[in-house]
């Protein structure tokens, strides 16, 4: 008896992603595939503000469950800020503490829904403990990032500092590029109770005999195997979960702009730094410089500002920038239909912060990547992009580690001219078609057998 739809009974899974779009989106994609092909019923649990955009497009056998953070935080974290989207960075530790203190509410949800399994994220060690305590059920952590990064971070936490990471090309701590991420790992929530590295490692250790991760063995098999060795658990890949772009009103202006770039006009690059990161003023100036450097370059650039800090984009962009790029550059505020843009035939390059979902979308849609990592796992994702030959990283200034517009412009030109890289991206994109489904089938069966205890 497998997890296939022929099974007579449905097994229920409660999913609890971290309160960020870059986490909720992969959990929802996994939920859609598990309920679409297999006999699972999925409860997707998050704060109301994080679930609102999903309420009207729910496939069968997926149910949204609102989790309310303690009202004691309402002064520092009003309900519409119970998400990392547009949250001022200094409030992130407070959001983690508020989420931690929602454990009693989560325990009530466990008791009312009584799921057969919990799939959780790597930021809430209290969730698997609650599942075991309240219901005696197993829990599985689902890593929404890449295996290269997570195998390094786990190695960094589990081994003495002098132990050599087996893949030196990705040992960015030794190379001095990972300082910000090390600081992030050593820092913690605003009560100082739990460092991020302890929080993360407790989540990994609390997972049952398997760990799920959003990647393809084709591109990260050796890292997934090392991750498994470090954890002493089975690391089960689910493929890239690259979502099919949904048609949305308001996207047509951008798509029409792309359609108007005929084959005689220069190629277009899409520039985005994800749903969490906000460029500083200085970084905005350097990115603008990089896009202006090549007068022939067409581009779409998504610019974002923290909630309450929205400003007219021309206040933050260099004087006269919009006029100078008139006709070849489109600056979009807040959000753009990234998946649809990357699929467009006129888009020949992707300037990305290398958030993991963006890297996978660039690869699956066959668009070479100009890697400009900013924080978190992005430095490792950028190194992987270079290692598998689907892009090139923009090296930062040696003097102060800042991004350099001139260097960015050079790498854009180099990537757009690199026929071998374009061929490699196309070849990998074709190779990955269907690979993800095969990995998902195996993962669904593995979850089913875990629930059945076989």
Cβ contact 85:24 at 8 Å: no
Name the residue nearer to ligand AWU (CB basis): 97 or 275: 275
Q: Is 171 a catalytic residue?
A: no
Name the residue nearer to ligand AWU (CB basis): 59 or 334: 334
Name the residue nearer to ligand AWU (CB basis): 216 or 448: 216
Site for ligand AWU in 403-432 (CB under 6 A): none
Binding test (CB under 6 A) with ligand AWU, winner from 15, 17, 22, 428: 22
**Is 50 one of the binding residues for ligand AWU (CB under 6 A)?**
no
Query: Annotated catalytic residue: which of 121, 171, 377, 404?
Result: 121
Cβ 447 to ligand AWU shortest distance, Å:
21
Cβ 75 to ligand AWU shortest distance, Å:
27
Binding test (CB under 6 A) with ligand AWU, winner from 123, 376, 382, 412: 376
**Is 274 one of the binding residues for ligand AWU (CB under 6 A)?**
yes
Closest-CA residue to 146 (of 224, 90, 82): 224
Cβ 133 to ligand AWU shortest distance, Å:
28
Name the residue nearer to ligand AWU (CB basis): 28 or 38: 28
Q: Which stretch binds ligand AWU (CB under 6 A): 3-11, 73-81, 273-281, 427-435?
A: 273-281
Angle at 192 between CA 187 and CA 193, to 5 degrees: 110
One DSSP character per residue, 221-258 reads HHHHHHHHHHHTSEEEE----PPPPPP-TT-HHHHHHH
**Is 355 one of the binding residues for ligand AWU (CB under 6 A)?**
yes
**Is 377 one of the binding residues for ligand AWU (CB under 6 A)?**
yes
**Is 181 one of the binding residues for ligand AWU (CB under 6 A)?**
no
Binding test (CB under 6 A) with ligand AWU, winner from 172, 358, 421, 441: 358
Cα distance between residue 346 and residue 349, in whole Å? 9
Angle at 356 between CA 172 and CA 268, to 5 degrees: 105
Which tokens hold the place of 375?
């924080």
Total residues binding ligand AWU (CB under 6 A): 25
**Is 378 one of the binding residues for ligand AWU (CB under 6 A)?**
yes
Cβ contact 207:140 at 8 Å: yes
Going by the DSSP 8-state scheme, the letter that residue 47 receives in this structure is: -
Cα distance between residue 386 and residue 371, in whole Å? 9
Name the residue nearer to ligand AWU (CB basis): 125 or 145: 145
**Is 156 one of the binding residues for ligand AWU (CB under 6 A)?**
no
Name the residue nearer to ligand AWU (CB basis): 108 or 252: 252
Q: What phi and psi values does residue 140 have, to the nearest 5 degrees?
A: -130, 130
Strand order in the sheet with 329-333: 329-333, 298-303, 268-272, 347-352, 369-371, 391-393
Binding test (CB under 6 A) with ligand AWU, winner from 11, 13, 21, 73: 21
Which tokens hold the place of 420?
């071998």
**Is 379 one of the binding residues for ligand AWU (CB under 6 A)?**
no
Q: Which stretch binds ligand AWU (CB under 6 A): 113-121, 195-203, 310-318, 335-343?
A: 335-343
Our CA dihedral for 42, 46, 49, 53, rounded to 10 degrees, sits at -20
**Is 121 one of the binding residues for ligand AWU (CB under 6 A)?**
no
Query: Annotated catalytic residue: which of 23, 41, 82, 344?
Result: 23
Cβ 244 to ligand AWU shortest distance, Å:
12
Q: What phi and psi values does residue 436 have, to the nearest 5 degrees?
A: -60, -40
Going by the DSSP 8-state scheme, the letter that residue 344 receives in this structure is: S
Cα distance between residue 387 and residue 220, in whole Å? 10
Q: Is 150 a catalytic residue?
A: no
Which tokens hold the place of 396?
């930062």
Q: Which stretch binds ligand AWU (CB under 6 A): 129-137, 216-224, 231-239, 330-338?
A: 330-338
Cα distance between residue 10 and residue 3, in whole Å? 9
Where would I find the H helices in 101-212? 103-113, 126-135, 147-158, 179-186, 196-206
Where along the sequence are the contacts to ligand AWU (CB under 6 A)?
20-23, 25, 144-145, 272, 274-277, 302, 335-336, 338-339, 355-358, 361, 376-378
Positions annotated as catalytic residues are 23, 121
């Amino acid at each position: 008896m497998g997890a296939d739809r022929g099974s007579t009974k449905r097994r229920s899974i409660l999913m609890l992603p971290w309160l960020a779009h870059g986490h909720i989106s992969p959990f929802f994609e996994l939920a859609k595939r598990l309920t679409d092909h297999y006999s699972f019923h999925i409860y997707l649990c998050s704060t109301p503000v994080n679930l609102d955009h999903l309420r009207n497009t729910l496939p069968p056998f997926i149910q949204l469950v609102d989790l309310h953070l303690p009202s004691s935080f309402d002064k520092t974290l009003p309900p519409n800020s119970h998400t990392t989207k547009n949250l001022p960075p200094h409030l992130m530790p407070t959001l983690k503490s508020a989420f931690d203190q929602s454990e009693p509410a989560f325990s009530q949800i466990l008791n009312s829904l009584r799921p057969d399994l919990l799939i959780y994220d790597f930021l809430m060690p209290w969730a698997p403990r609650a599942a075991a305590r309240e219901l005696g059920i197993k829990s599985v952590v689902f890593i929404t990032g890449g295996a290269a990064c997570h195998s390094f971070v786990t190695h960094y936490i589990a081994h003495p500092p002098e132990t050599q990471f087996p893949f030196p090309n990705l040992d960015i701590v030794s190379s001095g590029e990972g300082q910000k991420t090390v600081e992030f790992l050593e820092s913690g929530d605003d009560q100082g109770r739990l460092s991020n590295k302890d929080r993360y490692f407790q989540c990994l250790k609390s997972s049952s005999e398997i760990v799920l991760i959003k990647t393809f063995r084709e591109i990260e098999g050796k890292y997934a195997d090392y991750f498994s060795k470090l954890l002493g658990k089975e690391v089960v890949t689910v493929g890239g979960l690259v979502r099919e772009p949904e048609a949305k009103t308001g996207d047509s202006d951008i798509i029409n702009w792309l359609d108007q770039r005929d084959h005689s006009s220069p190629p277009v690059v899409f520039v985005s730094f994800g749903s969490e990161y906000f460029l500083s003023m200085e970084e905005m100036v350097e990115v603008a410089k990089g896009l202006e450097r090549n007068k022939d370059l067409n581009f779409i650039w998504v610019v974002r500002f923290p909630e309450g800090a929205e400003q007219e984009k021309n206040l933050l962009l260099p004087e006269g920038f919009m006029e100078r790029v008139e006709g070849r550059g489109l600056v979009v505020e807040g959000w753009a239909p990234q998946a649809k843009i990357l699929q467009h035939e006129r888009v020949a390059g992707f300037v990305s912060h290398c958030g993991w979902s963006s890297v996978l979308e660039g690869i699956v849609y066959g668009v070479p990547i100009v890697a400009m990592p900013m924080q978190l796992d992005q430095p490792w994702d950028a190194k992987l992009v270079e290692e598998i030959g689907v892009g090139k990283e923009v090296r930062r200034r040696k003097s102060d580690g800042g991004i350099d517009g001139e260097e960015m412009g050079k790498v854009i030109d180099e990537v757009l001219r690199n026929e071998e890289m374009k061929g490699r991206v196309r070849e990998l994109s074709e190779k990955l078609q269907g690979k993800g489904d095969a990995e998902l089938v195996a993962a669904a069966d593995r979850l089913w057998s875990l629930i059945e205890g076989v």
